């Protein structure tokens, strides 16, 4: 497994005892040996095997179909977010759905009025396609570059204001907006709990964060402090951002408790999607901005490897038995 080899290139070989524990846990607890490879990666990153981990492929093949069902993909329908969540944290301006433009209250917008509405208060907007994933399907538009024909061709999506990031995020990378991924769970008791958090940043000259080149740094879920060590998309360790060379240690996510409070409140508005990955950022005025939320494709592998087990008390390891 490529990811395991990358981690072992600087951590050293994972012990046979740990690998055996991974194999045994995959078969005896999770029901199949195919879940062992991600446990290998978690173990290599962590330095030892830990009971309670949820392998990424187990999460998507067992957990998501069981606890999310058809409600998870709702988050991919970008035009629904403003209508459903009704939050000032969303930078949404307009949506384009099935050939029609709508405002954030689902009111009709004439095609002739779209350009003026989009650029009334900003010089640039971001258009995100429904089901956009890993940084793909994202377009930056100005009044001059905007065209109705392009939007008709691209299909359904949402227009958002281009957020001007907080100075801390700009110190790490000025070309793209860093996002804070906060994973929450709507528990069977009705409580919303924060399970994991990490900072996602672009690198180089990229205009937005993309999975294939992102830099990820674990964030303490209580204090908002960045961990000393971050990781490249290839799972290689780094203590500084590779473009700006700014160190991670000693920094704290700005307005972190506001970020947590915002996503917790929002999850109560979308309780049918039981596990959500919220991508928020903080702007120059220290206001929380929700860029998107993910209910069907909110991967957990990075959080499990660096902060997990994050979901050990939820009984997810038993879900395969009822399938």
pLDDT confidence of residue 54: 98
Same domain, 140 and 275: no
Given a cut of 90, whether residue 120 has pLDDT beyond it is yes
pLDDT confidence of residue 132: 73
- Say what percent of the chain tops pLDDT 90: 88
Residue 63 domain-assigned (yes or no): no
Query: Of 104, 99, 154, which Cα lies nearest the Cα of 130?
Result: 154
Weakest mean pLDDT among 62-66, 71-75, 287-291 = 71-75
Residue 82 domain-assigned (yes or no): no
**Residue numbers of the domain that contains 107:** 92-161
Segment 227-237, tens digit of pLDDT: 999 999 999 99
Residue 229 domain-assigned (yes or no): yes
Residue 217 domain-assigned (yes or no): yes
Residue 81 domain-assigned (yes or no): no
- pTM of the entire predicted model: 0.95
pLDDT confidence of residue 208: 73
> Which of these three, 161, 186, 210, is where a domain ends?
161
Given a cut of 90, whether residue 216 has pLDDT beyond it is yes
- Say what percent of the chain tops pLDDT 70: 98
Q: Answer whether 210's CB lies under 8 Å from 134's CB.
A: yes
Residue 86 domain-assigned (yes or no): no
- Band of residue 134 on the pLDDT scale cut at 50, 70, 90: low
Per-residue b/e over 176-203, b at no fewer than 16 CB within 10 Å? bbbbbbbbbbbeeeeebbbbbbbbbbbb
Query: Of 153, 141, 138, 158, which Cα lies nearest the Cα of 97?
Result: 158
Same domain, 125 and 170: no
Mean pLDDT score, 63-85? 93
Same domain, 169 and 318: yes
Same domain, 231 and 117: no
Same domain, 195 and 294: yes
Given a cut of 70, whether residue 292 has pLDDT beyond it is yes
pLDDT confidence of residue 133: 64
Query: Of 54, 29, 30, which Cα lies nearest the Cα of 275?
Result: 54
CATH number of the domain that residue 313 is part of: 3.30.470.20
Segment 191-211, tens digit of pLDDT: 999 999 999 998 876 767 777
Segment 156-192, tens digit of pLDDT: 999 999 999 999 999 998 878 999 999 999 999 999 9
Domain count, the chain: 3
Same domain, 213 and 117: no
Mean pLDDT, the chain, rounded, equals: 94
Residue 103 domain-assigned (yes or no): yes
Task: Catalogue the E-assigned strands of 156-214.
Answer: 157-161, 179-186, 192-201
Residue 300 domain-assigned (yes or no): yes
Same domain, 182 and 313: yes
pLDDT confidence of residue 207: 66
Given a cut of 70, whether residue 135 has pLDDT beyond it is no
Mean pLDDT score, 238-262? 97
């Amino acid at each position: 497994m490529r990811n395991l080899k990358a981690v072992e290139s600087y951590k050293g070989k994972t012990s046979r005892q740990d690998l055996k524990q991974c194999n045994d846990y995959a078969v005896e607890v999770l029901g199949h040996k195919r879940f062992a490879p991600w446990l290998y990666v978690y173990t290599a990153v962590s330095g030892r095997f830990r009971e309670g981990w949820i392998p990424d492929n187990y999460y998507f093949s067992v957990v998501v179909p069981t606890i999310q069902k058809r409600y998870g993909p709702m988050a991919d329908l970008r035009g629904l977010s403003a209508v459903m969540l009704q939050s000032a944290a969303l930078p949404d301006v307009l949506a384009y759905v099935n050939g029609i433009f709508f405002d954030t209250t689902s009111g009709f917008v004439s095609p002739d009025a779209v350009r003026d509405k989009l650029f009334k208060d900003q010089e640039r907007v971001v258009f995100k396609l429904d089901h956009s994933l890993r940084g793909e399907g994202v377009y930056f538009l100005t009044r001059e570059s905007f065209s109705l024909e392009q939007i008709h061709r691209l299909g359904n999506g949402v227009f958002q204001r281009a957020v001007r990031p907080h100075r801390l995020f700009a110190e790490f990378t000025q070309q793209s907006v860093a996002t804070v991924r906060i994973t929450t769970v709507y528990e069977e008791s009705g409580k919303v709990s924060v399970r994991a958090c990490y900072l996602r940043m672009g690198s180089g000259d990229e205009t937005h964060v993309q999975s294939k080149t992102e830099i990820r740094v674990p964030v303490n879920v209580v204090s908002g402090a960045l961990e000393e060590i971050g990781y490249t998309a290839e799972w290689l360790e780094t203590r500084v951002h590779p473009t700006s060379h700014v160190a991670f240690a000693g920094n704290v996510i700005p307005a972190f408790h506001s970020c947590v409070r915002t996503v917790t409140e929002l999850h109560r508005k979308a309780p049918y999607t039981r596990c959500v990955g919220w991508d928020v950022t903080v702007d120059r005025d220290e206001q929380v901005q929700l860029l998107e939320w993910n209910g069907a494709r909110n991967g957990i592998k990075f959080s499990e490897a660096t902060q997990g087990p994050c979901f050990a008390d939820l009984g997810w390891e038993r879900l395969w038995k009822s399938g």
